[in-house]
Structure 1
Amino acid sequence: MAWGPQSTPDYRFGRSKNTQRYSAPPGVTLLGYASPEGAGDAIHHYLRDHEAQVRRGQQVVRAVQQLINQGITPDITVTHPAWGEALFLKTLLPKAHHIQYCEFYYQNQGADIDFDPEYPSSIDGHYRSLCRNATQLLSLTQTDACISPTQWQCSRYPIEYQHKIKVVHEGVNTLFLTHKHWPTKSLRCSIILLILLTWAKRHAKRLLNASTSKPLPYPSGLI
């Protein structure tokens, strides 16, 4: 995403096939870039994600360059460091302020792999996990500031970059959703909502196995 000061319109970028599904809010111009090609089969499997992200970064640069050619130069960019969109923007927009959203930094332990004894990670899996951070590390060297939703997510990033990260919680507004908003009648079924990180989608089967291996603390529950 990229935008200027409040006196100018906002410009949001995304893959064309995604932006076509959404309508922009007032004052926002939604622009799409062509979906990048995937990594080739000859690429080492540790680096396939990184190559795809480099290709995405190239597509973003082309889209932003078209904006610049129209006389519009963004003052601020907000990007996700792991997707490749931030890789080349600092060079293209050296005077802009660059902010990155630090969602998740891959770890060998205590995060998305090797957390379940039933599914131990291999050495190959550890090495691949390290390489998956390549795009983020290159992006973080070019950012002016970062935001992260939680202290835990912030703490996953290398200590050298944590001073750039400000934790901005994006979850439930507890000042609004207080006990006075709770239902006064008992429910037949308790609903448990688990706020999970991005690995949840990739490991849904494990999560379901873990949730059913122990009795729930409610007579009836939905996860």
Structure 2
Amino acid sequence: MRLLLIHQNFPGQFRQLAPYLQKQGHELVAICSHQRPTGVNCRILRYAEPPRRDDLPQGSSLAHDHLHRAADVARLCAQLDQEGWRPDCIAVHTGWGESLALREVWPEVPQVLWPELWVLPEHGGHGHDPLLPPSDLSKQLDQLARNTFTRAALAQAEAWVMPTRHQAASLPISLQDDRLHVIHEGISTAQACPNPDVNYTVAGHFIDRSVPTVTFVNRNLERLRGFDLFMRALPPVLRTHPRLRVLVVGDNERGYGSGHPSGRPLKDVMLKELQGSMDCSRIHFLGRIPHEHLVGILQASWVHVYLSYPFVMGWSLLEAMACGCAIVASRGMPVEEAITDGVEGLLVPMQDPQLLSQRILSLLADPGLRRGFSERARARALHWDQQRMLPKLEAVLAVTAAGGAQPRS
């Protein structure tokens, strides 16, 4: 098949799928809006990021951005068409409006979309995070705009893919029909795997499996992902274990949630709040690191902490499970789709740092308990292995390509 993959941050969700499709003999072209290397050896067309419009209201700014991207992507598709290259199927993430004008160029080419999430107030922490007031009109209008564009994109597509049942359930019932496919992007459990010989150095300190470590990984250090809860749980843990090292991976940006009410980075807020209560020299903030380094940190971890209010499930949770981490995680979705309390890990409420400390300490103190959770987490993670997921995604593209685009009323 000839396949066009569109994602402003390509490869994004297609990180594993694109190389797999190439190995199966499919011809790929990709479209994105960044200038960074992609790691995928195919033709890539790039468009410029839309100009910022700070003078527009939030919903209008979103519309400006989406329609600008849609037009730029359509022009690149028209360029391909003029060259005589036409895809059999288009795979595209809907989050930035890039698919909205594809039918203007190729009305007959079928589309498979990755909508990821139908945005609800709870996905920003509202109704769960006690620091957040009820969702106000501004946020409701922003969610309305995002979901309206998602609906417009889905109205032009033949199929869509959601990675988890939790994310699929966010869609309106009318969009949860046979066009919906719940298939995760997949992780490499051959790469993310237990490794008793792993070692690395951080801030001049040699770390291997004999050194107690606690790990915490997220794209950004934010309340939506429980970073403040994690930090408040650390003082008794560090006092109990003088050799313990804490490894924190993630950028110090605002993230998916609303940020701290003060406007300051949450890392700075928490370090000031906890100043003097713990030995911060044993907490290592690594920022964003290469994936292979992340895997090494997880392989050496004694206890991995993963926390989240209802939102999307991060790849890092599944990779930590695949590495055989003993995991303490938050109750509720999306975590409970992967971890059953007392089976693959231990679950705690999002607002109980004392209980989180106790759970971490119980695992640090009991190698046998850690070993049992490690083995069961690894076994569960195999269900998300890319060797199982990628053929299913390829099949969705092939079936959709064979069926062609359907007439739209």
The alpha carbon displacement at 1:186 in A equals 5.2
Q: Give ranges in structure 1 of 5+ residues lacking alignment.
A: 195-199
Pairs within 5 Å for 1:16-165: 18=34, 20-23=35-38, 25-26=40-41, 28-39=42-53, 41=55, 43-108=56-121, 110-114=122-126, 115-124=128-137, 125-163=139-177, 164-165=179-180
Q: TM-score, normalised by structure 1?
A: 0.78
CA contact (8 A) 1:57 1:86 kept: yes
**Alignment CA distance shift 1:23-1:80 (3 Å):** closer
Find out whether 1:218 has 2:360 as its counterpart: yes
How many Å separate the matches in 2 of 1:171 and 1:112?
25
The alpha carbon displacement at 1:139 in A equals 0.5
Counterpart in 2 of 1:204? 222
Counterpart in 2 of 1:14? 32
Alignment partner of 2:123: what SS?
Answer: coil
Counterpart in 2 of 1:197? none
**Alignment CA distance shift 1:12-1:21 (3 Å):** same
The alpha carbon displacement at 1:159 in A equals 1.3
Q: Give ranges in structure 2 of 5+ residues lacking alignment.
A: 6-20, 198-208, 233-352, 365-409
RMSD: 3.0
How many Å separate the matches in 2 of 1:40 and 1:112?
22
Alignment partner of 1:77: what SS?
Answer: strand
**Alignment CA distance shift 1:34-1:128 (3 Å):** closer
How many Å separate the matches in 2 of 1:55 and 1:193?
34
How many Å separate the matches in 2 of 1:34 and 1:210?
39
How many Å separate the matches in 2 of 1:30 and 1:175?
28
**Alignment CA distance shift 1:25-1:173 (3 Å):** closer
> Could you tell me which amino acid in structure 1 is paired with residue 227 of structure 2?
L
Identity %: 23
CA contact (8 A) 1:61 1:92 kept: yes
Alignment partner of 2:75: what SS?
Answer: helix
**Which structure has the highest helix share of the two?**
2
**Alignment CA distance shift 1:136-1:218 (3 Å):** same
Find out whether 1:169 has 2:184 as its counterpart: yes
The alpha carbon displacement at 1:103 in A equals 1.1
The alpha carbon displacement at 1:24 in A equals 5.3
The alpha carbon displacement at 1:23 in A equals 4.8
CA contact (8 A) 2:111 2:158 kept: yes
Q: 2:214 aligns with which of 175, 180, 190?
A: 190
> Could you tell me which amino acid in structure 2 is paired with residue 34 of structure 1?
A
Give aligned pairs, total.
206
How many Å separate the matches in 2 of 1:22 and 1:212?
35
